[in-house]
């Protein structure tokens, strides 16, 4: 038993009649923080276990995905803490370059100002002011959820230490030739006015238009197909496949681009798909990544015909039009000239959108900074292939390899003011100097620093080691790196995870940033539908916590989770989880009122009843299962195991079986049961604590008078307490009790109504010693001299129960009710058989529909068997 620490036990309160989460959660969390239980000690000789929290955006608030992600991490860290590890769960936030700059710019716009009105230095100061006043709302919400993070180690990607880390790795990568500056096609957001990396672009299938246009005249004409007609103003070639017989005679000739008077060559390139459109494509190297590559291979010029806001800059009749204004205008002009050969609309095709503002991304030739990902991505792939890093579930490794094995160079420069400014200076004579954190920046006339900042993901990629003090050799870094597990959604496996792997292995000389990547799915509604504001099914976890409690929210989310799979959840399930917490509360309150104790050793097996030995044995199986499932990241299965042990074994069976003993005349037996009841509840509360920390801590402290369950020892399997014989004995008892209860329910007997009965075969079933207990549980009296068996039940194991129900049942009314129920069950069964026997239906029906109908038939047939048994048991009229 954990010893009481000063100041904590004094705050112990007796259990109220009902559990009120709002009265417990804030008080408990403040106690945890003030007691220092979340703090990690780098000098400890305990084995380390560390997790760095995926840093939420400084602009963000707790959404349902965060709630799942944080609950899983908290459950892992709380269990490891109880298992004796020196645990570190490190919190922090990401500066979220584009998102944060947008927030502050919108705020300025309400005053009629832009960032350019303030200037760079004043604008950045405004962002820091906003961060201090309004940023980080999510950190308080994390407390509501119960996150047991080490708040003393909280980090921010723009704080001084992490900024030093960013400058250090940029300099090293630059010196090693892994960062370079080049003019390349990048993703450009015309609204945010910045370059975007591949991971900041969301693709969706949008309705568009495929237009086929004739270039040239007569026999030398060629037809090209495009979805972006406006880019024709920047065409510098037409390309065909070298093996396409249709166009072989035209390769090497040239053709005029409409409206421009320019003539461009027709080239042969294997990139062209002869089956797409007409098999001939226009080549616009400055506005399409594939066209850029064709241009490089054929030494084509690149013509930029749009400005940064997507406005046409090419001289001519369309100059000054927005790209979406120019598109129909050009189509109309082409149609007037008779150059439109075909139009297909709607034409559904993949379109990229800015992940922040949803504006359609424009491919654009631009001078930017890039990371040469080739060698870095190879090391990231090797670390998983050679087993240094394990991805759970393992089948998602294929997705990881598909990404890192085919990674493009990473555009890391952003045309923003909020972020880590690129540490490169340009001199008056064309000099380029990269400055490390300990270098002196060049000064003097003509020297200027690069205006751009780094992609937010650049600093986030350093998170597992920069937060521990790198590039300094800190005690935290020595103790807690590599981190033990990264928990995140599978949707950012390719993005953040891969980048952390690349930079961690590079900066830490081959040491991986984490040993395991545990991937969970997205949270969906109860029908498996993606949550979306447009669907009206978005859930606010804070609302659930207000109404049902943080524990209920956590338990519902975790119980629905499986590695790598999406999580379906509904309000009804959260309400059910609240009922589960109430069940625990009531069971513990019952135990306290009846003197349950955790003092002293458990009685030896030889002194315990079969009931006590059974529940202790069931506890051992539960400990084993929960440990196995936690280690396999099967948190949903662990919760399910604990739910059924707590609700079924402990509350529904053991508490009821214990009542006659606790209220009986055998004081010694009652004392032993009080000790077993106290032990089982204490162990159960420990097992549940990682997932539902608040209610379990309140209950455990009341039961044990201890400090906090979070610093108690995790339950350990006691093989000596596994008792197969007791489990078989209680299983036989449960079968008898369950069958009698079902019979009573079917016959409409009131719960408190006692019925005379004769029990035979208990001895041969091994439960003869439990007859008094059985009778108590199912309200059966000893048969009197006038006993007449009007109904007989046969239970597996050779037990028969003969009951005298005279005067207890309205036979006619009960027969009518059962007959009505039987007709409904027979109708259901007949309908299901008809569908399953219909070849036309079976040939078209999806497998899941057939499975549901088969399940309905099975249920209906089971109902028929049960009803027929009940009808047969009724006494004659």
* Residues of each annotated binding site for ATP: 533
How far is CA 647 from each of CA 319, 415, 503, 627, 643, rounded to the nearest angstrom?
73, 57, 47, 19, 6
d(CA 149, CA 40): 9
d(CA 457, CA 495): 8
8 A C-beta contact, residue 101 and residue 127: yes
Tell me the CA end-to-end span of the chain in Å, nearest whole number.
62
DSSP state of 646: I
d(CA 105, CA 97): 12
d(CA 328, CA 331): 5
CA nearest neighbour of 590 among 672, 662, 683: 662
Mark residue 665 as left, alpha or beta (left: phi above 0; alpha: psi -120 to 50; beta: remaining): alpha
8 A C-beta contact, residue 367 and residue 181: yes
799-804 and 791-795: which strand pairing? antiparallel
8 A C-beta contact, residue 210 and residue 237: no
CA nearest neighbour of 736 among 717, 756, 761, 718: 761
Which residues carry a binding-site annotation?
Answer: 533
Q: What are phi and psi of 834, to 5 degrees?
A: -65, -45
780-781 and 453-454: which strand pairing? unpaired
d(CA 519, CA 392): 6
How far is CA 129 from each of CA 120, 132, 324, rounded to the nearest angstrom?
14, 5, 38
Structure tokens belonging to residue 840: 């036309």
d(CA 783, CA 796): 22
Q: In what order do the strands lie in the sheet with 254-256?
A: 254-256, 263-268, 237-240, 280-283
Structure tokens belonging to residue 138: 């999510």
């Amino acid at each position: 038993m954990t010893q009481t620490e000063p100041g904590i036990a004094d705050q112990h309160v007796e259990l109220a009649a009902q559990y009120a989460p709002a009265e417990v959660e804030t008080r408990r969390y403040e106690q945890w923080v003030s007691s220092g239980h979340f703090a990690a000690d780098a000098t400890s000789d305990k084995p380390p276990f560390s997790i760095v929290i995926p840093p939420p955006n400084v602009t963000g608030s707790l959404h349902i995905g965060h709630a799942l992600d944080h609950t899983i991490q908290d459950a892992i860290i709380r269990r490891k803490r109880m298992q004796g590890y020196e645990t570190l769960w490190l919190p922090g936030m990401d500066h979220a370059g584009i998102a944060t700059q947008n927030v502050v710019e919108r705020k300025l716009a309400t005053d009629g100002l832009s960032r350019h009105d303030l200037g760079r230095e004043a604008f950045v100061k405004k962002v820091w002011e906003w961060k201090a006043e309004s940023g980080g709302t999510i950190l308080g919400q994390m407390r509501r959820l119960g996150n047991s993070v080490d708040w003393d180690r909280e980090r921010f990607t723009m704080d001084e230490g992490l900024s030093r880390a960013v400058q250090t790795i940029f300099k090293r990568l630059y010196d090693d030739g892994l960062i370079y500056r080049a003019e390349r096609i990048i993703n450009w957001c015309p609204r945010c006015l910045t370059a975007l990396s591949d991971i900041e672009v969301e693709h969706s299938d949008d309705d568009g238009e495929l237009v086929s246009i004739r270039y040239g005249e007569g026999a030398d004409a060629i037809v090209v197909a495009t979805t972006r007609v406006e880019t024709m103003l920047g065409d510098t070639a037409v390309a065909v496949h070298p093996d396409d017989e249709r166009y072989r005679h035209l390769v090497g000739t040239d053709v005029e681009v409409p409206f421009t008077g320019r003539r461009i060559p027709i080239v042969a390139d294997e990139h062209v798909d002869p089956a797409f459109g007409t098999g001939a494509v226009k080549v616009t190297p400055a506005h399409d990544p594939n066209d850029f590559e064709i241009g490089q291979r054929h030494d084509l010029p690149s013509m930029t015909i749009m400005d940064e806001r997507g406005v046409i800059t090419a001289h001519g009749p369309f100059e000054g039009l927005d790209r979406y204004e120019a598109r129909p205008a050009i189509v109309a002009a082409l149609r007037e000239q008779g150059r439109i050969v075909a139009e297909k609309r709607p034409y559904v095709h993949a379109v990229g959108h800015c992940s922040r503002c949803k504006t359609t991304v424009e491919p654009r030739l631009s001078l930017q900074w890039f990371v040469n990902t080739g060698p870095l991505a190879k090391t990231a792939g090797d670390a998983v292939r050679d087993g240094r890093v394990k991805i759970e579930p393992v089948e998602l490794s294929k997705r990881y390899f598909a990404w890192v094995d085919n990674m493009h160079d990473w555009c890391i420069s952003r045309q923003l003011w909020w972020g880590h400014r690129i540490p490169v200076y340009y001199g008056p004579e064309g000099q380029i100097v990269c400055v490390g954190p300990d270098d002196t920046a060049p000064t003097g006339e003509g020297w200027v620093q690069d205006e751009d900042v780094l992609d937010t993901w650049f600093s986030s990629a350093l998170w597992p080691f920069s937060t521990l003090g790198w590039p300094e050799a800190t005690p935290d870094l020595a103790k807690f790196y590599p981190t033990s597990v990264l928990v995140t959604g599978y949707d950012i496996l390719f993005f953040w995870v891969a980048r952390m792997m690349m930079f961690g292995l590079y900066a830490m000389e081959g040491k991986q940033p984490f040993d395991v990547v545990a991937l969970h799915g997205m949270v969906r509604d109860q029908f498996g539908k993606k949550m979306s504001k447009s669907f009206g099914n978005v859930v606010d976890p804070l609302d659930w916590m207000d109404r049902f409690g943080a524990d209920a929210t956590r338990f519902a989310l975790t119980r629905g989770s499986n590695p790598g799979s999406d999580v379906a959840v509904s309000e009804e399930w959260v309400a059910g989880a609240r009922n589960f917490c109430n069940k625990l509360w009531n069971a513990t309150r019952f135990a306290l009122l009846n003197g349950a104790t955790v003092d002293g050793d458990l009685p030896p097996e030889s002194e315990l009843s079969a009931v006590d030995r059974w529940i202790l044995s069931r506890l051992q199986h539960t400990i084993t299962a929960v440990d196995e499932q936690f280690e396999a990241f099967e948190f949903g299965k662990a919760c399910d195991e604990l739910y059924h042990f707590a609700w079924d074994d402990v509350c529904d069976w053991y508490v009821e079986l214990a009542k006659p003993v606790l209220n009986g005349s055998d004081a010694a037996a009652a004392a032993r049961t009080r000790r077993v009841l106290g032990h089982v509840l204490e162990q159960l509360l420990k097992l549940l604590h990682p997932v539902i920390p608040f209610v379990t801590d309140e209950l455990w402290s009341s039961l044990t008078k201890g400090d906090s369950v979070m610093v108690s020892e995790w339950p350990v399997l006691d093989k000596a307490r596994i008792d197969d014989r007791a489990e078989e004995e209680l299983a036989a008892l449960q079968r008898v009790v369950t069958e009698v209860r079902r019979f009573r329910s079917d016959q409409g007997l009131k719960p408190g109504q006692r019925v005379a009965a004769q029990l035979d075969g208990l001895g041969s079933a091994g439960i003869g010693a439990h007859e008094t207990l059985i009778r108590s549980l199912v309200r059966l009296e000893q048969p009197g001299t006038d006993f007449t068996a009007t109904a007989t039940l046969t239970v597996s194991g050779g037990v028969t129960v003969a009951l005298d129900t005279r005067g207890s049942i309205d036979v006619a009314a009960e027969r009518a009710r059962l007959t009505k129920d039987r007709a409904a069950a027979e109708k259901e069964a007949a309908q299901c058989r008809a569908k399953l026997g219909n070849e036309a239906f079976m040939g078209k029906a999806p497998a899941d529909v057939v499975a549901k109908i088969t399940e309905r038939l099975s249920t209906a047939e089971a109902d028929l068997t049960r009803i027929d048994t009940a009808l047969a048991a009724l006494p004659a009229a």
